Amino acid sequence: MLLTMDKINFGQWLQSEREKRDLSQSDLARITGLHRQIINKTENGVSMPAVETYLALAKAFGISPVL
């Protein structure tokens, strides 16, 4: 899925998943151990996450990183 998703679609997905869980960007940053700026830039389509970031997000959401 990651390979077929562009950074804007991934950012929209990330924001949707975060909001479904009633988390702020700061909350998600704390849970994942990432900087809030990484969450923000990813949600806004500025950048795609690094592999480590992608894995941390999958773990935080309790989903498989492999679809």
Per-residue pLDDT of the chain (67 residues; tens, 9 = 90+): 445 568 889 999 999 999 999 999 999 999 999 999 999 999 999 988 899 999 999 999 999 988 6
Q: Which long-range contacts (CB under 8 A, 24 or more apart) does 14-23 make?
A: 14/39, 14/42, 14/43, 14/57, 15/43, 17/61, 18/43, 21/61
Amino acid 4: pLDDT: 58
Q: Give the list of residues 6+ apart from residue 55 with CB closer than 8 angstroms, or none.
A: 65
